[in-house]
Structure 1
Amino acid sequence: MSTTPELTEAVFLLEPHTLLLDVAGPAEALRLANQALQRQGRPPAFRLRYVAAQPDVLSSVGLSLGPLEPLPQALQAQSWLFLLGCRHAQPGEPAPGSAQRADALRTQRWLHGVGQQLLQQKQGRLVGICSGTLLAAQAGLLSGRRCTTHHELLDALRRHAPQAEVVDNRVFVLDGALASSAGVTAGIDLTLHLIQLRCGDAIAASVAQTMVVYLRRSPQDPQLSPLLAHRHHLHPAVHRVQDALCAQPGKPWSLQSMAEVAHVTPRHLGRLFGEHADTTPLRYLQAIRLELARRARQQGQSLADAAALAGFSSEQQWRRTQRAHAALGVNTAPRKP
């Protein structure tokens, strides 16, 4: 019997003046995930659809988007429905006419129905990008839920969803089948995380590298794979070092050689890692090596080969590193294949 996961339909709900990056960023990440899967000989994971109350809409930058599908009567249980932000009304811009108001009301009623199904069935996702979370609030979908939005709209979200727990200062928030992100580019961060949950960390990392973005999370979120952890910051020098360590974990790294990658002094690099990545350069490198050794063991490599592949000089060094990390509360014991 085939165990191939069903194709996930990523449905983008477009409204007049939709922020173009809110559409393009997540959609491009999903396309690149399919591309990365196919390079591995795996089937694509996502089918992208674009729906609206009208056959075309004008985006935030004046680009017409269409033709678009009409609002479907229902969505598949495992669909991801993306709610996108819209730009603010411009000074002197005419108020929406009766036809636009009717479309908005029809869209809101449609969203209430399909959104409730997605949240209740828990097989798919309702994804709010930037101010798109306000659409979910206006459709009555956020009661008792944790969520976030663009920092300028947090108070508005609280007004529209008084029974929701609106979270400040977060890149994105997950609450069961509901996912919501802060402003604009945070939608890419959220989509990368959803790709990681759906397709694995290697595919998510491949997409992030292709898009030249980083996998970011807030420090309160659950633990990531060591290959993706400690990336919730924005400091370019620390990211450069992390990229170099992930690319060549077996290199005989020293604090000096890491600092040369960052173009700072060794002492300053230690401070930067502590402030922005909440770890030390050496501890970060050790975590990467331990994870690679664990994966090598799972794939059937011997202890000696797994240690060598991960960059340890010996099995004894591997075990000493495991004990040191275990003392810090990190489970790094090798698992037998």
Structure 2
Amino acid sequence: MTLSVWFVLTPNVLMLDYAGPAEAMRMAAEMGGDLVVHSCAPVPRLRTSLGVELLGLAGLPMQLPRNSLVIVTGNACEAEDYARPEAKAVVAWLRGALQPDTQVASICSGALLLAAAGLLDGRRCTTHHSLIEALRVAAPAAKVEENRIFVEDGRVLTSAGITTGIDLALYLIERYVGVVIAARVARRQVVYQRRGGHEPQLSPWLAHRNHLHPAVHRAQDAIALDPARCWSLEELAGQAHVSARHLARLFAEHAGISVVGYQQRLRVARARELLADRQLSIGRVAELAGFASARDFRRVWQRHEGGAPSAQRATLDRNGMAAASDERQATPR
């Protein structure tokens, strides 16, 4: 199903908060991603932080279609900007227009509008470092986290803004459209991409792609599309249109890792996703992720992650129960 992405703007919108993520989404659609990007506001024309005006903006939709992603952008001077009637109109709209399947995200000070709409109550969230205390005041029932690129809690994501809005956009593109297009968008924007976690960290799917060599990217695209496949160096060299020996050298030079090491990291990342399914045994997880045996899986996991896969599964279970409890507490009765 097509993802409808709605960037919600208010007067004096911070252009980098809007333009960077919006361009990332537009590029993803241009590259074949099944998404449509909209820019909407309570007024058809508004002034931006750069002094230029945006014209022809769509109005706030009366009813969001299914499978929508709403992204509320930040502003240059939130204390004044969010006292305007246009910002209050957005808050009222957020309270009434979201559907049960609507995903909501904020960039920078946009978190303050989510807070005003009550969407952060009982949730973990973040914002720009200069606005952390303001967010705590605006959302006393939220769990505001510092020094985070972005935070995801249920259907709500909040980011630190400015360039981290692009990090958030890449994460969402990876989720909804796939890792290959996310990597291509990152490469086109020439950015160093990271994902959220308990600490800022590099996405295992996007790591080692902070380079511009097309042959290496072609090989990485092939591995990412099917990490469980037993790729030979010759097969990957064919995908990259270089010799096997040359690809091995290029991979080490530009990606900073061997071909085998890169594939193992993606297999571990795939295994991490599969471990969340309790119906799959460790042996089945190993098989689906592309490992030769459960023993081989445990050995590679220990090298890259430390500990055992079963310990990771136990952690996922604990976090899942905690998240479900938070979701129940945050749901209005």
TM-score after normalising by structure 2 = 0.66
CA distance in 2 between partners of 1:327 and 1:177 (Å): 32
**1:68 lines up with 2:57 in the alignment:** yes
Name the CA shift for 1:285/1:152 in 2 (closer, same or farther; >3 Å).
farther
AA of the residue aligned to 2:191: V
Counterpart position of 1:176: 154
Q: Could you tell me how far 1:241 is from its partner in structure 2?
A: 10
AA of the residue aligned to 1:189: D
AA of the residue aligned to 1:27: A
Deviations 1:66-120 (A, max 9, x none): 1112222121131111111000279xxxx78xxx843333222112212xx34xx
CA distance in 1 between partners of 2:300 and 2:37 (Å): 42
Aligned pairs for 1:150-161 within 5 A: 150-161=128-139
Name the CA shift for 1:319/1:217 in 2 (closer, same or farther; >3 Å).
same
Task: Tell me if structure 2 keeps the 8 A contact 1:227–1:246.
Answer: no
Q: Could you tell me how far 1:191 is from its partner in structure 2?
A: 0.6
AA of the residue aligned to 1:53: P
Q: What count of residue pairs does the alignment treat as equivalent?
A: 261
AA of the residue aligned to 1:80: L
Q: Could you tell me how far 1:216 is from its partner in structure 2?
A: 0.6
CA distance in 2 between partners of 1:78 and 1:214 (Å): 28
Counterpart position of 1:87: 76
Aligned pairs for 1:170-319 within 5 A: 170-218=148-196, 220=198, 226-229=204-207, 239-240=210-211, 250=233, 286-290=260-264
**1:7 lines up with 2:2 in the alignment:** yes
Name the CA shift for 1:139/1:261 in 2 (closer, same or farther; >3 Å).
closer
Give the alignment partner of residue 50 of structure 1, picking from 39, 60, 78: 39
CA distance in 2 between partners of 1:81 and 1:35 (Å): 20
> Which blocks of at least 5 consecutive residues in structure 2 are unaligned?
221-232, 234-243, 269-291, 310-333
Task: Tell me if structure 1 keeps the 8 A contact 2:78–2:109.
Answer: no
CA distance in 2 between partners of 1:75 and 1:229 (Å): 34
CA distance in 2 between partners of 1:101 and 1:248 (Å): 51
> Which blocks of at least 5 consecutive residues in structure 1 are unaligned?
1-5, 38-43, 232-238, 263-280, 295-316, 333-337
Name the CA shift for 1:227/1:62 in 2 (closer, same or farther; >3 Å).
same
Name the CA shift for 1:141/1:227 in 2 (closer, same or farther; >3 Å).
closer
Task: Tell me if structure 1 keeps the 8 A contact 2:13–2:76.
Answer: yes
Counterpart secondary structure, 1:325: helix
Give the alignment partner of residue 28 of structure 2, picking from 1, 24, 33: 33
CA distance in 2 between partners of 1:319 and 1:145 (Å): 37
Counterpart position of 2:90: 107
Counterpart position of 1:311: none
Task: Tell me if structure 2 keeps the 8 A contact 1:246–1:288.
Answer: no
CA distance in 2 between partners of 1:230 and 1:144 (Å): 36
Name the CA shift for 1:257/1:204 in 2 (closer, same or farther; >3 Å).
closer
Task: Tell me if structure 2 keeps the 8 A contact 1:290–1:318.
Answer: no
Give the alignment partner of residue 15 of structure 2, picking from 15, 20, 23: 20
Give the alignment partner of residue 144 of structure 1, picking from 93, 101, 122: 122
CA distance in 2 between partners of 1:7 and 1:59 (Å): 29
CA distance in 2 between partners of 1:229 and 1:248 (Å): 14
Bigger radius of gyration among the two: 1
CA distance in 2 between partners of 1:50 and 1:109 (Å): 18
